[in-house]
Amino acid sequence: MKTPLMIAGSILAAAVLVAGGCGPRGGPEGEETVERVPVRVVEITTGPVTATVAATGTIKARDDVPISAEAGGRVLEVMAQVGDSVSEGDVLVRLDDELAALALRQAEAQRLLAEAELDNAEAGLERARSLWESGDIADAEWEATEHRAKSARASFAAAEAGLGAAERQLRNTSIQSPIDGTVVFMYAEEGHLIAVGTPVAHVVNDDVVEIELGLSEDQVPDVSPRRTTTVRVRALPGEIFDGKVEYVGRRADDMTKTYPVRVVLPNRTHQLRAGMVAEVTIDAKEFSDVVVIERDWVVERYGEPAVYVASDSLAVLKRLTLGKVIGNRVIVASGLEEGDLMVTFGYDQLTEGAALEIKGAPGDSADQHTSGSDDR
């Protein structure tokens, strides 16, 4: 049985042992060891950046012309086939022109008759004018002569119009290409009887192509004509094509609530084909001397966007005012200054005043961007 003196001695010994174990963890006696959070940082710089707008559309040939018959008749000859290159004015299809030629001859005869009647009426009018002015004929007779001349002029004008229509009708029996291009469809066949308005052929010129886009009300304010664009086509991976904005709509489409924007680009190699799906990036708006950071580097603290910067190896929280979002980056309107060392890795482990262990030199990481280039 332990006496009170023995118990008191045991307690004193235990107290000495505990006091001896209360020094700094893992360090020499008398030194305090601070746990540091490993981070990477990037030095903030300012520079230019171009905001971009991305949208998807379908490629169309600049000149894409369906051709229909303007005269009816039997197809005598098909003079072009699918794949043929044609020039403006080349005949694609010839129709039977016998009836049209007869109608033209009749119109020519009617014009000659009307012309003779007009000459006779004009001569009679001149004779009547002299007699009327000398008082040798009554006013009623002069008015009748004048009326006959007017009627003859009207008949002549109608005959000329009829002759023009007959000439055009004859021309329409030779169906021509209205543009330079390539025949992509041919519907006419020899011997078939076709009516006015029947589709005959389809000619396309895709030396220049266009893409119709629909932009939202948030996207369209930054876009203006003549802005440059980058076009990528899913069917041609790895290929990049340059174009320009030609038109920006002033009114939203009632159905889609988007604004129409047309992009045009040259197609000299004819790689781009109508119907291909294209992804278009428009260089919409340029900013100069701004700070741009990755959106992933921004944290939310106290309900506001913020980032951590390194100051004397300590984490300092800086609240930000953010501006335009550019892809996966964002412009910083205020909160960061040129030269700040912003934490880009390890920030999710930080609190205000945390001790930092900076890994590598600022700017070593290839994916650390703080100022602009095109966001593509």
Q: Which tens digits make up the pLDDT trace of 127-142?
A: 888 787 777 788 888 8
Find the mean pLDDT for residues 194-211.
96
Q: Are residues 279 and 222 in the same domain?
A: yes
- 222 within some domain: yes
Task: Count other C-beta atoms under 10 Å from residue 254's C-beta.
Answer: 6
Find the mean pLDDT for residues 153-176.
94
**Is residue 226 pLDDT above 50, yes or no?**
yes
**Is residue 258 pLDDT above 50, yes or no?**
yes
Q: Are residues 268 and 338 in the same domain?
A: no
- 10 within some domain: no
- 125 within some domain: yes
- 363 within some domain: no
C-alpha of 49 from chain center: 21
**Is residue 266 pLDDT above 80, yes or no?**
yes
**Is residue 17 pLDDT above 60, yes or no?**
no
Which of 258, 286, 314 lies at the terminal end of a domain, its last residue? Answer: 286
In degrees, rounded to 5, the angle at the alpha carbon of residue 9 between the alpha carbons of residues 7 and 10 is 65
Residue 369 phi/psi, 5-degree rounding, is -115, 130
Sole residue written with tokens 């590598």: 360
Please give the Cα distance from 6 to 210 (Å, whole number).
100
Distances (CA, A) of 133 to 19, 123, 137, 144, 240: 145, 16, 8, 15, 83
Q: Which tens digits make up the pLDDT trace of 302-320?
A: 889 999 999 999 999 999 9
| 0.95 exceeded by pTM | no
Q: Are residues 192 and 75 in the same domain?
A: yes
* Domain tally, the chain: 4
Q: Are residues 292 and 338 in the same domain?
A: yes
Q: Are residues 75 and 121 in the same domain?
A: no
269: which DSSP letter? T
Q: pLDDT band at residue 326, thresholds of 50, 70 and 90? A: confident
Distances (CA, A) of 250 to 69, 125, 221, 223: 36, 60, 10, 12
Q: pLDDT band at residue 101, thresholds of 50, 70 and 90? A: very high
Residues in contact with 23: Cβ distance below 8 Å, sequence separation at least 6, in sequence order: 29, 30
- 375 within some domain: no
In CATH, what number is assigned to the domain containing residue 191? 2.40.50.100
**Is residue 71 pLDDT above 90, yes or no?**
yes
Which of 245, 261, 286 lies at the terminal end of a domain, its last residue? Answer: 286
Q: Are residues 187 and 79 in the same domain?
A: yes
Please give the Cα distance from 138 to 154 (Å, whole number).
25
- 79 within some domain: yes
Find the mean pLDDT for residues 141-150.
87
Q: Among candidates 248, 184, 246, which has minimal Cα distance to 215?
A: 248
Average pLDDT value over all residues in the chain = 86
Q: Are residues 245 and 153 in the same domain?
A: no
Residues in contact with 147: Cβ distance below 8 Å, sequence separation at least 6, in sequence order: none
Which of 231, 264, 286 lies at the terminal end of a domain, its last residue? Answer: 286
Q: pLDDT band at residue 361, thresholds of 50, 70 and 90? A: low
Q: Are residues 275 and 294 in the same domain?
A: no
Please give the Cα distance from 69 to 76 (Å, whole number).
14
Q: pLDDT band at residue 86, thresholds of 50, 70 and 90? A: very high
Sole residue written with tokens 């066949």: 189
Can you give the residue range of the structural domain that contains 190? 70-96+174-197
- 22 within some domain: no
What pLDDT score does 7 carry?
36
- 244 within some domain: yes
Six-digit token string for 375: 């966001």
Please give the Cα distance from 14 to 294 (Å, whole number).
56
Looking at the chain, which runs of residues are DSSP E strands?
37-43, 47-68, 73-78, 85-86, 91-95, 174-176, 181-186, 193-194, 199-215, 228-233, 241-248, 259-266, 277-294, 299-301, 304-311, 314-319, 321-326, 329-334, 341-345, 356-358
Please give the Cα distance from 276 to 56 (Å, whole number).
11
Q: Are residues 304 and 351 in the same domain?
A: yes
Q: Are residues 80 and 145 in the same domain?
A: no
Q: Are residues 92 and 104 in the same domain?
A: no
Please give the Cα distance from 169 to 66 (Å, whole number).
20
In CATH, what number is assigned to the domain containing residue 135? 1.10.287
**Is residue 375 pLDDT above 80, yes or no?**
no
Q: Quick one: three-class SS letters along 305-355?
A: EEEEEEECCEEEEEECEEEEEECCEEEEEECCCCCCEEEEECHHHCCCCCE
In CATH, what number is assigned to the domain containing residue 342? 2.40.420.20
Q: Are residues 142 and 125 in the same domain?
A: yes
**Is residue 12 pLDDT above 50, yes or no?**
no
